[in-house]
Amino acid sequence: MTAARPVVRYAPSPTGRLHLGNARPALLNWLFALRHGGDYVLRLDDTDVARSTEEFAQGIETDLAWLGITPALKVRQSDRTALYEEAKGRLIASGRLYPAYETEEELEIKRGRARLLNKPPIYDRAALALTDQQKQAYEAEGRVPHWRFRLDGRPVQFIDLIKGPQTVNTASMSDPVLIRGDGSYLYTLPSVVDDISLGITHVIRGEDHVSNTGTQIEIFEALGGPVPQFGHHNLLTGAEGEGLSKRLGSLSLSELRVDGFEAMAVTLVAVLTGTSLAVEPYPSLAALAERLDFSMISHGPARFDAAELASLNARILHGLAFADVARRLPAGIDEAAWLVLRGNLQKFGDIAPWPEILSGDIDHHADPADLEFLALARELLPPEPWDETTWSTWTTALKAQSGRKGRALFHPLRLALTDREDGPELKSLLPLMGRTVSLARLP
């Protein structure tokens, strides 16, 4: 990766399944990289050893590949602790990282006292006043320090790629804990160190991270690294504004895939919901990247509609050429069959029973009241070759001799030939089935 190219990153933690809400930043980063000829880094934030698993890590890569995302580089934070240790040492040496010995109970008492005094529950920086002797006394008691980053306490300003000019006043924040008492790192420091090390130029993520940005910019500056450009998009939520929970598996990408949704349908709903663009089919990710600009992302909610996903999925299927699906089709479905059947599909899996319907043995039970009519239909079945005029020729003759019309004419024929209440028009199905199959299904 070269400095001249934009470099973005997607940084999920492998502590659960990716869901539709996670797909939004993953895809917005990918589309930005496509649009600007940049590189995409997948960084697995697996410092939470207790909950990170290899199964979830592999699941993330599988989900991203399904969406069409192919990272230029993949890294894991668990392999990069030496970098974080070096940064820790530099921050301590510069006086920006300091040890604090309060227990969680003591901190909660401080926060409660501040609330009683109608003050914000900001850490009072008592640890900065500790002498070496006091620190040694704490450690002799068995206390181990956690490490806080000393904020400048100033308005941190940046131009957000999506939201425009932003100001985060770090004076209203507690000095954040960057390293726990057990020596493990919280998200913030490894993320900044990695962004510097990997040459990340643009950080595109959810708007719930806006307040973190002021702290992170101060850490970038304290480490002497270039500060990337930030863009914070609106979050994808449920119909009532509720969040999409990764750990509950709500709308997980793996479930959507198993349920038969097209990757492009999931992509378009994840990306276009909450923008000024219509949620409609696009021929490719490249075409979507060319069309989407961050100025089109709304500052309001992005509410997911399950019915919209289902409708879009069907629209995409209805427009797929045979070449797009040939390798996925079951045996017995050729191009002619696909072009007839695709317009009736809601999910790709709906095509599964059609080879049997078109040419197999099906069980059906005719209404006794229709047996005489179906026997007449058998007698009047036209000779081959068949085309789309065969159905009209056949039903016109049946109508004339039986006196039936409308549903009384068409419904018994559909049930006899397909054993289904729904499906493509029989004028299109008949040539696919042929006379031999059709004759065998008429009593």
Shared domain check, 282 and 328: no
Outline where DSSP puts E strands in 243-364: 302-303
DSSP 8-state secondary structure symbol assigned to residue 250? T
| pLDDT score of 366 more than 90 | no
Q: Are residues 247 and 348 in the same domain?
A: no
Please write the tens of the pLDDT for every residue from 226-259. Answer: 999 999 999 998 877 677 654 445 689 999 999 9
Q: What percent of the chain has pLDDT over 90?
A: 92
44: domain range? 1-74+188-319
Alpha carbon 128 to its chain's center: 44
pLDDT category at 209 given cuts 50, 70, 90 is very high
Return the bridge partners of 41, or none. 9, 73
**What's the pTM?**
0.90
Q: What is the pLDDT of residues 286-312, one digit of tens each?
A: 999 999 999 999 999 899 999 999 999
> Are residue 194 and residue 248 in the same domain, yes or no?
yes
Query: What local confidence, expressed as pLDDT, does residue 362 receive?
Result: 85
Q: Are residues 70 and 192 in the same domain?
A: yes
Give strand pairing partners of 19: 252
One domain, residues 213 and 301? yes
pLDDT of 245 reads: 57
* The last residue of a domain, from among 306, 336, 357: 357
pLDDT in tens, 164-193: 999 999 999 999 999 999 999 999 999 999
Tell which of 293, 319, 345 closes a domain: 319
Instruction: Please give the tally of structural domains in the chain.
Output: 4
Residues 340 and 303 in one domain: no
For residue 256, the domain's CATH number is 3.40.50.620
Residues 237 and 306 in one domain: yes
Confidence of residue 443 (pLDDT cuts 50, 70, 90): confident
What residues form DSSP beta bridges with 194? none
Residues 108 and 46 occupy one common structural domain: no
The reported pLDDT for the residue numbered 364 is 75
Q: Helices (H) and strands (E) in the chain — how many of each? A: 18, 12
pLDDT at 244: 66
Instruction: Read off the pLDDT of each residue in 127-149 and give the average, rounded to a whole number.
Output: 96
Question: Both 264 and 155 in a single domain?
Answer: no
Domain CATH number, residue 429? 1.10.10.350
pLDDT at 250: 62
* pLDDT tens, position by position, 51-105: 899 999 999 999 999 999 999 999 999 999 999 999 999 999 999 999 999 999 9
Residues 208 and 310 in one domain: yes
Integer Cα distance of 105 and 160 in angstroms? 38
Question: Average model confidence (pLDDT) for the chain?
Answer: 94
Give the Cα separation of 271 and 302 in Å (integer): 10
Task: Give yes or no for residue 206 having a pLDDT over 80.
Answer: yes
197 plus 300 within the same structural domain: yes
Calculate helix-pair angle for 426-440, 390-402, nearest 10 degrees: 70
Which tokens in the block code for residue 138? 């704490």
| Furthest CA-CA distance within the chain | 109
Residue 364's contacts (CB-CB under 8 Å, 6 or more residues apart) are 415, 416, 419, 441
pLDDT of residue 2: 43
Residue 290 shares a structural domain with residue 196: yes
